[in-house]
Chain A
Amino acid sequence: MTFLHPEFYLLFPLLLAVYWLIPSHRIRKYFLLVCNCYLYAWWDCRFLFLVLGQAGLDYFLARTIEHTDQHFRRTTLLLVSLGINLSLLAFFKYCNFFLQSLAELTGDHFSLLNIILPLGISFYTFRAVSYVVDVYQKRMRATNSLADHLLFMTFFPVMLAGPIVRANHLMPQLRHSRSFCLDHLSRGFALLVTGLFQKIFIADRLAFFVNQVFADYPVYASLTCWLAILAYTAQIFCDFQGYSNMAIGVSRMLGYDIPRNFDWPYLATSISEFWRRWHITLSTWIRDYIYIPLGGNRKGAVRTYANLLMAMSLCGLWHGAAWSFVVWGLFHGLALAVHRVWKNSSTGKLPFLPALIFTQLTVIAGWVLFRASDLQQAAGFLLRLVIVQDGVQWPQPFVIGTILLGILLHGYRLIHRQDIPLLPARAWYTPTVLFCMLWLVLVFPPKEFAPFVYARF
């Protein structure tokens, strides 16, 4: 069950009431674990056993790693855990992609497998990997409680599309009793409503326009294509930040703190800053578990650039089983490498506005690769953006309004440095704004609901 299903909004208040009425923290955790399992099984009960099995195995492997002193045995156990987790991810997510690529390469025909991608597999695999690696590297102790581990692995707010909360962030919270706090509840509600508004009122409406223009881009004028890619820039942000806000809000209502995933990425003045602001939990995961183990920047310039390219290509592949995602990752890796060269050279720093524009144009070019169905479409769309061409003009009023509003909010943020400009914590009008957003979501649903962009990863 996701935050987009009406069933969730029928069940969650009940779940929340029962959860906080349970006096014992221990029983409350068991109740939450049952709820997690039910919400996952609601989507597909078969895959619940896969998740639980994977989590149980990681629990025992991590415990064994902790209680073993022999380096070889510890490493073997780590490799077993990584092998199982990544093999499952590879099978469910990439099997057909590899088969298809092999078929294209060899000219042979392979029949593809009918595989259903388990919900949130990319996210919970990364959570599992980070836990086992952290225990292996002695950055944290393996948990004694199987229930805590299962709760960490199936924690429903972050199950579907992150943030990729790490064990060392959530596990300590699971150990300590959570107390009911009205302020946390109201703050959580605020984030849930904000996320819902971002997803349903903004992102899904933009998605309709973006989908139409991308599908038929050769007939549209360059200006409309620019509008479409700007709309997609806003859509993907509102879609994913919307989900993250909902996840953080729901967790907050349950008394748990989840790390933030975004920090105004479209105000970044360099590509490396962009990755410090966009999908923060993924970029730090890639840094800590891929880039640094590969050698990071400790093994010379050439190796650093190669590591950047490798880490970002894997980041691209994680996003989706398609070459366009790999190229998107490579493109960002290349941009990071170029930025590093620029930073290390004596050329100096660009002023704020040119740096902002240049960075965001790079990000937007990347979004074309990310959104396009294949590389051919991406190339065609990019050409249409670069070479001014005539065609059908489609000045969609909602899209134009949203983009202008987005620019205004970013401007506001630059001046006032507030996280949510419309929702200051103590303002009397904050509940009014929240209720208004809720009304807009209910009264003006989009023509068609789109699943969360990141949920398919």
Chain B
Amino acid sequence: MRSYLPPIPMASKKYPWILGLILSCLFIWGIAAIFHDSTSPWFFDRELGILVHPSHYTYRHRSEGWGMTHYGAYGIGGIPDAASDPRAKILIWGDSYVAAHGVNDQDKMAQQLSHLFSRNRIPVLAVGIGFSGASMADYYFRMPRYEKLLSSVRGHFIMIAQPDEDIVPDRQEQGQSRFLRISEPPGFALHEAHQQVLPQQKLKMRLSMSYLDFIIILKKRVANIKPRFAPTIQRVSAKAESGDHVPFTSPADEKRAFAFLCHSLRSQTTLPLTMVYLPRIPRIEQGKIVFTDPFAKRMATFARICREHNIGFLNLGGSFIHLYEESGRFPRGFANSRPGQGHLNRHGHGLVAQALYEYAKKQNLFIQPLP
């Protein structure tokens, strides 16, 4: 059998190796600047009393979609200073679906909605306030603060993209405020922001501005390695548990949690409040395009309870299906992730903006067009 080794030995002088190391560092710096996600530094905002992304910070997202988010004041993406804008405002609340890092600023739902308003000569600015992992409890605590800060707020839209997480108690991530059920009756727990994190966030920010974010991510990855050196014994893997986690013990329990949620949110503002449901349809599942929403029943209950508390409810399922039937496009997913799954893409954001615009017009929620 032939040897794999080439007849000529590889150069073993040390200079090419030193040069190689230096040049490769420059290479990865350049490549990471284009193809790697940014890190997300958080700064304590004294006026809001919460942690937000710093203003003038640009976030690059490459792992799902291809977008740049330019942060303005108060952690608001795509608007340099929403507070100083004289227009009336509507606030769009949400988690990563509203932060929408996978699309560019001009394609985010808030910006597309603002564009629709300005095209129709309606002086309203849509402001998207989205933080990855944020929950209803965060909106509950933040709504009055932003209302106070951004003058002339006329209404709120809250995006619900994951019904198994967004409106269900005890499912939120660490580091965020939480919607609790463990306590009886249910309640909200405020995640208190601390200013002590500031020095390390400053370094994170500096590295990010120099396109060196990959160092932080690499460090985190290395720190997460938990090496095992002891020999072990393999076990036959047990069958995975059923994925259908039932978060509620009974329908009454579910209703009680929803009623608490709606009542609490309603009590935080006197302005029009609307829940916007972004169902996971159409989606690809087991070789089929699925148009049925597995959370339809839960969301019907939630919608009814919303209305009982004078909260609007908007379901975008129909628009999403229509988009697919008309163009074969999915509202979710990107070419570099997976079609029909994940966060909203440009088309999805456009649909949301269109639906919000029409809903606002129909309900006469905001101000009339200029003459």
Contacts and interface: CB of A to CB of B under 8 A. Distances in A.
Note whether A and B form a binding pair.
Answer: yes
Interface of A: 6-7, 10-11, 38, 41-46, 48, 114-116, 166, 169, 181-187, 190-191, 212, 215-219, 248, 252, 257-260, 280-281, 284, 392-398, 419, 425-436, 438-440, 442-445
Interface in B251-299: 284-289
Contact of A432 (B1, B10, B19, B36): B19
B236 interface: yes
Interface in B26-65: 27-28, 31-32, 35-36
B288 A218 contact: yes
A260 B221 CA distance: 34
Contact of B24 (A114, A439, A445): A439
Given A259-B4, A260-B2, A439-B24, A216 B284 contact: yes
Contacts of A10: 227
Interface string B334-352: 0110111000000000000
A426 B11 contact: yes
Given A425-B9, A442-B218, 17 more contacts: A45-B231, A183-B12, A184-B9, A186-B12, A190-B10, A216-B286, A219-B287, A219-B288, A281-B1, A393-B328, A394-B335, A397-B336, A425-B11, A428-B16, A430-B20, A431-B19, A434-B24
A426 to B, nearest CB: 5
Nearest to A166: B1
A431 B36 contact: no
A6 B225 contact: yes
The A interface, classified by DSSP as helix, strand, loop or mixed, is helix
B12 A395 contact: no
A126 to B, nearest CB: 14
B90 to A, nearest CB: 34
Name the prevailing secondary structure of the B interface residues. Answer: loop
A434 B287 contact: no
B3 interface: yes
B234 A116 contact: yes
A51 to B, nearest CB: 13
A438 B24 contact: yes
Contacts of A444: 35-36
Contact of B234 (A6, A43, A183, A260): A43
Interface in B105-162: none
Contacts of B340: 392
B9 A187 contact: yes
A215 B227 contact: no
Contacts of B5: 187, 252, 257
A215 B232 contact: no
B10 A187 contact: yes
Contacts of A419: 6
Contacts of B335: 394-397
Contact of A431 (B20, B32, B214, B229): B20
B21 to A, nearest CB: 6
Contact of A116 (B17, B236, B338): B236
B370 interface: no
A183 B9 contact: yes
B246 interface: no
Contact of A45 (B4, B233, B328): B233
Contacts of A183: 9-10, 12
Nearest to B286: A216
10 contacts: A6-B225, A42-B230, A43-B234, A182-B12, A216-B286, A284-B1, A425-B6, A430-B20, A432-B16, A435-B25
B367 interface: no
Contact of B16 (A431, A438, A439): A431
A216 B3 contact: no
B286 A430 contact: no
Closest 6 CB pairs of A and B: A431-B20, A435-B24, A183-B9, A260-B4, A259-B1, A432-B20
A7 B228 contact: yes
Given A10-B227, A219-B289, A440 B28 contact: yes
Contacts of A46: 233
